[in-house]
């Protein structure tokens, strides 16, 4: 660090030094006044000016020549050389400044000039303001850097935690193999092993939009054992409807409503599993017990009042019973209940009457766009024809009816 050493051996030099100090004190008062004019904040002025009083004195003695006493720049107590142009200080024996190329000289000042206090104050104010702005910018940059580092640490920790949870979920799925329970809602899921099947009206008795039958290949997926219940809907959506009875399938749900439910459920799950609606192909494959040639989602070719909830009083068209609690009827061979009847179930796909003439064959996702979304399974107020596994319903995504509901699926996680 550079220091200034004053030679005050004579009475005259002491007198001259006192005069210089007096000039500096006058200058600091002017500096304070200038700062007050600029900032209007006394506390801020003192913060800026006080630490620099000694600095002003040293600069004056250094930069302004002598007044009968000598002033020598030293570095750690040893004499040093000073550049006249940029004030660089060095102990090396050099003739030219390494910074600017100007001549170096011995730092011996013999006179101290009188200074223009007002001009010096203006200069000091500018330098002080520049210094404060620089420090504030440095502090801001440092704060931002620390914030970024903290966020990076949190993201790394969150990623590690997510990976750990995903590993635990995957291990749980592997251990249980064919079933899974959602920790948020208690929804039960069963594994549907993928495979190849002929999708569509394999009995040649349905509507035109069920034809032609076509080859489809699907990967493994998990499907909800039951339709989403009112209680499960309440857990995620918090509707607290007095009409909800708990174990019955949630009703009056539009396709758009189902997407809101799924989004909130996935947010709670921290993206560990991506719940979604089944594709139309997945739904039919599961209803037909892995693509078997069966007419109904119950696993049989005939349907009765003891196997499904539908309009079994066909002759009188009376006595519609409404929904029944999920699990009221026997599951099909995959362990899925009410795949025929009770309520219609939304699928992910857009509806296209002619889609079966030009479908994708592996994990088909349906048309890219459309006016309607697909519904499957039939409801408690439909006759058996609508409960067939190949029957295709449709409705606009925003439409709500008391017979519209849904069940969830998720793809098998990949490590």
Residue-range domain boundaries for the chain:
2-131, 177-415
Phi, psi of 72, deg, nearest 5: -120, 130
Cβ neighbours, 10 Å, residue 270? 12
Q: What average pLDDT does the chain have? A: 76
**To the nearest 5 percent, what fractions of the chain are helix, strand and coil?**
35, 20, 45
Of 132, 134, 127, 120, give the one whose Cα is nearest residue 33: 120
What is the pairing mode between strands 78-79 and 81-83? unpaired
Place of tokens 């696993």: 299
177-415 is classed in which CATH architecture?
Alpha-Beta Complex (3.90)
pLDDT band at 73 (very low <50, low <70, confident <90, very high): very low
Which pLDDT belongs to residue 244? 52
Strand partners, 188: 181
Sheet holding 393-395, edge to edge: 393-395, 373-376, 344-350, 404-405
Measured in residues, the chain has a length of 415
C-alpha 313: how far from its chain's center? 53
- 338 contacts 329 by C-beta, under 8 angstroms: yes
- Mean pLDDT (whole number) for 253-258: 97
CB atoms within 10 A of CB 142: 10
pLDDT at 94 over 70: no
pTM, to two decimals: 0.61
User: Do residues 94 and 113 make contact, with C-beta atoms less than 8 angstroms apart?
Assistant: no
115 closest CA partner among 73, 61, 72, 71: 61
pLDDT of residue 377: 97
Q: pLDDT above 70 covers what percent of the chain?
A: 60
**Residue 373 above 60 pLDDT?**
yes
The arithmetic mean of pLDDT across residues 211-229, rounded, is 96
For the segment 381-403, what is each residue's pLDDT rounded down to a tens digit? 999 999 999 999 999 999 999 99
């Amino acid at each position: 660090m550079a220091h200034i050493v004053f030679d005050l051996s004579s009475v005259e030099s002491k007198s001259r030094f006192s005069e210089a100090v007096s000039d500096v004190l006058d200058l600091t008062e002017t500096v304070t006044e200038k700062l007050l004019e600029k900032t209007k904040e006394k506390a801020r002025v003192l913060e800026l000016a006080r630490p620099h009083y000694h600095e002003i004195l040293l600069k004056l003695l250094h930069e302004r020549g002598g007044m009968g006493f000598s002033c020598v720049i030293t570095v750690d107590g040893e004499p040093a050389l000073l550049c006249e142009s940029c004030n660089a200080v060095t102990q090396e024996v050099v003739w030219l400044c390494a910074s600017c190329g100007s001549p170096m000289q011995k730092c011996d000042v013999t006179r101290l000039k009188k200074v223009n206090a007002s001009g010096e104050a203006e200069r000091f104010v500018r330098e002080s303001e520049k210094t404060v702005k620089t420090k504030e910018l440095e502090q801001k940059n440092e704060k931002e850097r620390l914030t970024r580092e903290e966020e990076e640490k949190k993201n790394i920790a969150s990623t590690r935690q997510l990976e750990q949870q995903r590993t635990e979920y995957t291990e749980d799925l592997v251990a249980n193999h064919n079933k899974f329970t959602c920790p948020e809602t208690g929804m039960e899921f069963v594994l549907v092993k993928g495979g190849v099947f002929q999708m569509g009206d394999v009995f040649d008795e349905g509507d035109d939009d069920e034809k032609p039958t076509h080859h489809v290949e699907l990967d493994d997926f998990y499907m909800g054992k039951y339709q989403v219940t009112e209680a499960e809907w309440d857990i995620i959506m918090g509707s607290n409807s007095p009409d909800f009875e708990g174990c019955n399938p949630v009703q009056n749900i539009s396709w758009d409503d189902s997407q809101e439910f799924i989004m909130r459920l996935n947010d709670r799950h921290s993206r560990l599993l991506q719940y979604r609606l089944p594709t139309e192909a997945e739904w039919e494959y599961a209803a037909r017990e892995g693509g078997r040639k069966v007419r109904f989602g119950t696993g049989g070719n005939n349907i009765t009042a003891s196997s499904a909830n539908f309009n079994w009083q066909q002759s009188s068209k009376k006595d519609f019973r409404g929904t029944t609690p999920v699990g009221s009827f026997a599951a099909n061979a995959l362990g899925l209940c009410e795949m025929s009847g009770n309520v219609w179930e939304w699928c992910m796909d857009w509806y296209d009457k002619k889609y079966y003439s030009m479908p994708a064959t592996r994990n088909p996702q349906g048309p890219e766009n459309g006016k309607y979304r697909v519904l499957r399974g039939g409801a408690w107020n439909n006759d058996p024809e609508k409960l067939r596994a190949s029957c295709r319903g449709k409705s606009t995504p925003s439409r709500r009816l008391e017979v519209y509901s849904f069940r969830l699926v998720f793809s098998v996680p990949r490590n």
